Amino acid sequence: MLRRGDSLKPGVGLEEEKAYIRERVDRYYGSFTGLRVLGAGCGTGRMEAWLAGEGASVVCLDHLVEAVEISRIHAQRAGRAEHFVVGDLARMPFKGETFDLINSGGVLEHVVSPRDALREYFRATKPNGVIIVSVPNLVGVNAGFGLKPLFELVCRRRGSGSYVERNFSGASLRRPLEGAGFVCLDISPTLFNAFDRYPLKWLKATLSALGIYRSYCSALRVFGRRFPGIAFGYSFMIAFAQKPW
């Protein structure tokens, strides 16, 4: 059941993700108006509702009926017109070269073969079209600071069957993107700053009291542009890639 407000509450970093997408769409298309956009693995559909509000023609795809229904509720509450499809990312029910933009946030880490999913994205993207994908980085709060593989091993030995999602370095994200045929134009440690979350908020408070928090974040971004998968303090990477003509 969808509890009132819970699943539709804006997530941490959503505004930064929107800014990232807007900057790149403005650069390559000029505006969202008229773009055919696929939300691949739409989840709650928050980003897709925003894209529809910006003028794009949006399709929400997820393999979970519940996710599609939540996305539909979110679109209705936001007054957005969208299309909703239940389907498999590795065998998407769309003709080739259908979409100008595919947005896939927090999805590839959960699929068995990211490259197979990206090949489907490639097939469904128009020539010169683009994809924007975000994944958890190798070192960060979401990835347990690089310890998730150990957590997964312990859980398996205890027989809990707990699933821990895949974490990516910059290189391990770039490889499947390029292996699927895309040209990777950018990988950034954006999305959200984990220093707004416990326990790192105490470190943020300390650095702020010393007057060096902003300088630290600036240095972290410079480091992260070169090594996005190990940018301590950021939980996700976001990649922008283009399908060649």
Give me the mean pLDDT over the 199-224 stretch.
Answer: 83
Selected residue with higher pLDDT from 152 and 220:
220
**Model confidence at 113, in pLDDT bands (50, 70, 90)?**
confident
Residue numbers of the domain that contains 98: 14-242
| pLDDT attached to residue 193 | 62
Q: Are 92 and 59 in contact (CB under 8 A)?
A: no
Across the chain, what does the average pLDDT equal? Answer: 81
Is 5 a domain residue?
no
Tokens of 21: 């997408």
Is 7 a domain residue?
no
Does residue 161 register a pLDDT over 50? no
Is 3 a domain residue?
no
Closest CA to 83 of 99, 105, 107, 106: 99
For 182-201, what is each residue's pLDDT tens digit?
A: 999 988 876 556 677 666 77
Does residue 7 register a pLDDT over 60? no
Is 9 a domain residue?
no
| pLDDT attached to residue 78 | 81
Is 1 a domain residue?
no
Q: Specify the amino acid at residue 43.
A: G
Q: Are strands 183-188 and 236-242 parallel, antiparallel or unpaired?
A: antiparallel
| pLDDT attached to residue 192 | 59
Which residue has 């017109």 as its token pair?
81
pTM: 0.80
| pLDDT attached to residue 82 | 86
| pLDDT attached to residue 43 | 86
Q: Which of 12-16, 29-33, 49-53, 211-215 has the lowest mean pLDDT?
A: 12-16
- Sign of the Cα torsion 193, 195, 199, 201 reads negative
| pLDDT attached to residue 5 | 41
The CATH number assigned to the domain holding 173 equals 3.40.50.150
**Model confidence at 6, in pLDDT bands (50, 70, 90)?**
very low
Q: Specify the amino acid at residue 37.
A: V
Residues 6+ apart with CB under 8 A from 228: 137, 170, 187, 188, 189, 234, 237
Q: What DSSP string describes 18-35?
A: HHHHHHHHHHHTSSSTT-
Residues 6+ apart with CB under 8 A from 46: 8, 10, 11, 14, 74
Tokens of 82: 């969208």
Q: How far is CA 61 from the centre of its chain?
A: 14
Is 63 a domain residue?
yes
Angle at alpha carbon of residue 114, lines to 136 and 130, rounded to 5°: 85
What span, in angstroms and rounded, lies between the C-alpha atoms of 121 and 14?
A: 23
Share of the chain above pLDDT 90, in %: 39
For 12-35, what is each residue's pLDDT tens digit?
A: 557 778 888 999 999 999 999 999
Which residue has 């060649």 as its token pair?
244
Give me the mean pLDDT over the 74-93 stretch.
Answer: 88
| pLDDT attached to residue 2 | 37
| pLDDT attached to residue 147 | 53
Closest CA to 19 of 132, 167, 104, 125: 132
| pLDDT attached to residue 127 | 96
Is 228 a domain residue?
yes
Structural domain count, the chain:
1
Tokens of 6: 């819970």
Is 104 a domain residue?
yes
Which residue has 């045929």 as its token pair?
181
Q: From residue 191, how far is each of 4, 115, 133 by CA, in Å?
A: 25, 22, 11
Does residue 243 register a pLDDT over 90? yes
| pLDDT attached to residue 156 | 53
